[in-house]
Amino acid sequence: MTLPIRNVAIIAHVDHGKTTLVDALLRQSGIFREGEEIPDCVMDSNALERERGITILSKNTAVHYKDTLINIVDTPGHADFGGEVERVLGMVDGCILIVDANEGPMPQTRFVLKKALEKGLRPIVVVNKIDRPQADPHGATDKVLDLFLELGADDDQCEFPYLFASGLAGFAKDELEQESVDMQPLFNAILHHVPPPVGDINKPLQLQVTTLDYSEYLGRIVIGKIHNGTIRTGQQAALMTESGAIVKGKISKLMGFEGLKRIEMEEASAGNIVAVAGFADANIGETITCPNEPQALPLIKVDEPTLQMTFSVNDSPFAGQEGKLVTSRQVRDRLFRELETNVALRVEETDSPDKFLVSGRGELHLGILIETMRREGYEFQVSQPQVIYREVSGQPCEPYECLVLDVPEEGVGSCIERLGQRKGEMQDMQVGGNGRTQLEFVIPARGLVGFRGEFMRLTRGDGIMNHSFLDYRPISGDIEARRNGVLISFEEGVATFYAMKNAEDRGVFFIHPSTKVYKGMIVGEHNRPQDLELNVCKTKQLTNHRASGGDELVQLQAPMEMSLERALEYIGPEELVEVTPKSIRLRKVTKKLAKR
C-alpha cells in the first residue's frame, strides 16, 4: 500500500524567507537525528548560494507528516532564475506563496504568482516574518488579495487560505491572536488545501524530466514527477526526445527523497517525485515512457531570455597566465554543457570561432554562470550586456521591467529624476512611517543596465532595489547613459603608489598599488566625460637627497572595488570584462586607443 502524497512548491520574492521556512519544516518533521548538527539554510547546498544568501537552483526534499509523504520543492526568489520556478511548477499540485509581513508583495511575487495561477494552482499564502518590527500582517494579506485580482485569479483562487508565520522562530498560526510554537498549522494546511496528485497507475508510464543532476557513479540523473503508470528498477523504458525521436533504455537506479537524502526504491507509482538513472542523453522537458506505448507529455515552456552578452576567448596581454581552461573549444564545450541544465539560457555560435552569444534572464543570471566558470578554472572575456529586441505584431519591441525601490527620504527626489532620464514611469509611491519610501516604476530593461551602481551612490548604499521582467512593449527611444570617462593604462608594468598619488585628482582608481597592468587596461573612472590615458607605472627618481621612504605617511584614497556584477554593470559598449580564476579586469576592446 502506497502512502498518500502531497507535492508542493515554495515560491516567493527574494529574501522573503523561503529557505528558512523549509528549514523549520525539516527540523520539525523529525528527519534529523537527535543531536545531529543542522546548518542554517540546509537547502542552499551550492557554495555560491551560501555566499550570497540566495537560492539559485530549485531543490527537492520530502518529509512525512500524519502518514502522508509531502514532497517539497524550494525555488529561487530572484527574477533572473525564474526559469527554475517555471519548470518545477509543472510537477506540483499546490504551492505555498510566502510574503514578507513588512514589505508585502514585491516584483518577483507577481511573477511567481502569475505562473502558479496560469498552472491552475491554488496557493496557500504564508505571511512570514510577523515577529519583526514594522510588520503589518493584515496589510500584507490585503495587498496579496489585490495582486490576485490584478492577475485575473478566479473566485476559487481568490478565496486563498492564509497563515501567519515566522520561519526563523519556527512557528505558524491561522490567526494572529492565536498562540503557536510549531509549524503544525502549516503542515495541516498542506494536507487540507493541496490536492493529491492526479494520475492513473494503470496507464502506461509517463515521467517528465524537470531537473538534471550528475553522479560520478551513475552518470546523468533525471528528476521528475510520475504523471501516469508505475516505474521499477531494472525495467525497460523509452525516452521521447524534444525532436520526437524514441531512445530505448533501462532504469538502472530508482531513488526517492527523504529529508536531504536520496533513498533507493524498487518501485514508485503515479504522483511520486523520483530520481532516475539510466538515460545519459535525457534533457529537461522530455518524457520517460513505456517502450510499447510511447506517449510524450507537453514540453516545458519557459519565457525567453531578455539580455545577451558575448563570451570570447581572452586575448589580453595577460591571457593564459591565471586560468587552466582558456581555448575556444573548452569555453564552447562548457557553455553548451550549461544548456543541459539551465533551461532559461541560450548559446549561439557567431561568425568568429572565438566568440559565443549567450542570452539569459538578467545580469545576475549571466553573472552566476560567469562566476561558476571562473571558479572551475576558465579564463575568458565578456562584453557589455545588451537587451534582446523582438518583433510583436509587426512592431519592434523591447523588454520592460517592473522596478521597486525602497529608499531613504533624502534619496527619493534624485532617484525619481534619474529614472525619468532612463525612461522610467512611476506607478506608485508609498511613504512609510520609518523614514523610508517605496517607489514602483515600469522601465525599459536597457534603462536598468548600469543603474545599480548609480542607485547605490544616490542612496549612499542604503537603498534596496528589486526588479522582474514585465512584458515586451514598443521601443521607447534613446536612453542617455551618463557615465564619466575611464582612466586607461598606456603601458604594461606594475602600478606604483607614486604614479597613482600624482594622478589621484584625475578620478577614482579601481586598482591598488603593485597591481599588474597592461596597455589598454581600465584602471579607474575619470572625473570628466572623456577617457584619459595614464602612466600608472611611473616611479620616483631617487637621488642622494631624497630617500625612497619619504612619503610613507602620505595615504592614497581607497579604490573602488570592482566585483564581477559591478564590472558587468559598469562597462560601456567598447569595453570588456576579463574574467580569470584570480582576477576581474576591465579593458578597452581595441588596442588602438585615442591619442592623449
Gap between the Cα atoms of 345 and 361, Å rounded: 7
Q: Could you tell me the three cell numbers for 289?
A: 515512457
Question: What values do phi and psi take at 190, rounded to 5?
Answer: -65, -45
Relative orientation angle of helices 184-193 and 18-28, to the nearest 10 degrees:
100
Question: Are the C-beta atoms of 343 and 415 separated by less than 8 Å?
Answer: no
Q: How far is CA 388 from CA 357, 361, 472, in A?
A: 11, 10, 10
Between CA 74 and CA 50 the distance in angstroms is 15
Surface-to-core class of residue 315, CB atoms within 10 Å of its CB (0-12 exposed, 13-18 middle, 19+ buried): middle
CA gyration radius, the chain: 27
Residue 540 and residue 544: Cα distance in Å, rounded?
13
**Residue 18 marked in a binding site:** yes
16 is in an annotated binding site: yes
The DSSP bridge pattern shows strands 273-277 and 219-228 to be: antiparallel
Q: Nearest-CA neighbor of 17 among 77, 104, 90?
A: 77
Count of H helices and E strands in the chain?
14, 35
128 is in an annotated binding site: yes
Residue 89: DSSP 8-state: G
SS3 38: coil
The answer to the question of whether 138 is labelled as a binding residue is no
Q: What is the H or E stretch that residue 108 is in? A: helix 107-118
Q: Is 590 annotated as a binding residue?
A: no
Q: What are phi and psi of 188, to 5 degrees?
A: -65, -40
* 131 assigned to a ligand binding site: yes
Burial of 149 (0-12, 13-18, 19+ CB in 10 A): exposed
User: For the range 18-21, what are the long-range contacts, defined as Cβ-Cβ under 8 Å and sequence gap of 24 or more?
Assistant: 18/55, 18/74, 18/75, 18/77, 18/98, 19/43, 19/44, 19/55, 19/74, 20/167, 20/168, 21/96, 21/98, 21/126, 21/128, 21/165, 21/167
Q: Please indicate if the annotation marks 130 as binding a ligand.
A: yes
Q: Are the CB atoms for 38 and 20 separated by under 8 Å?
A: no
Burial of 528 (0-12, 13-18, 19+ CB in 10 A): exposed
Show the cell assigned to 417: 529624476
Query: Could you give the C-alpha distances from 184 to 27, 54, 65, 187, 356, in angstroms and in order?
Result: 12, 26, 9, 5, 51
Enumerate the known binding-site residues for GTP.
15-20, 128-131
Enumerate the known binding-site residues.
15-20, 128-131
